[in-house]
Amino acid sequence: MTENVVITLACGTDNPNRATRAFFLAAAAQKKGKNVTLFLLDDGVYLARKGAMENLRAATGDSADDSLAHLQAHGVPILVCTPCAASRFIKEADLADSCRMATAAELIDLVCDAATISL
C-alpha cells in the first residue's frame, strides 16, 4: 500500500462542501501518517490566498480553516498551479503559509507515485 497521497482540488469558495472536504481529507490522511500533498488548480487556487478560507464550512459543519491550520502545523505542502494562479492575478506573495506555486510537471511526478483523490 502506498504511503503517498495527493489530493487535487479544482473548485473554490463557490463549492464549500468540496473545498472543505479536500482540506479535511488531507488532514485525515496526514493524521494516519501518510505523506500528503494538496494540489490546487483551476478555481481551487483562490483558496490559497491568505484568509480565503475563514468561515468556509461544509454542510457537515467541518471547517476548511481548521483543516488548513492542521496542515500548516504539520508541514503538509499545499501546491498552487502557477498558470491557474497567474490567470486569476494571484501572486506568490498572496499565498497563505504552507502554500507555494507549482507546475503541472510537479503534479505529474507526485501522482505517479501516490494514491490520488480528485475533488
Q: What is the mean pLDDT of residues 64-68?
A: 94
CATH topology of domain 4-118: Hypothetical Protein Ychn; Chain: A, (3.40.1260)
- What is the value of pTM for the model shown? 0.94
Residue 94 DSSP label: G
Residue 96 DSSP label: P
* pLDDT band (50, 70, 90) for residue 2: confident
pLDDT digits (tens, 9 = 90+) for 74-109: 999 999 999 999 999 999 999 999 999 999 999 999
pLDDT digits (tens, 9 = 90+) for 19-39: 999 999 999 999 999 999 999
Q: Which residue has the cell 464549500?
A: 16
Per-residue burial over 75-99, b if 16 or more Cβ lie within 10 Å, else e, is: ebbbbbbbebbeeeebeeebbbebb
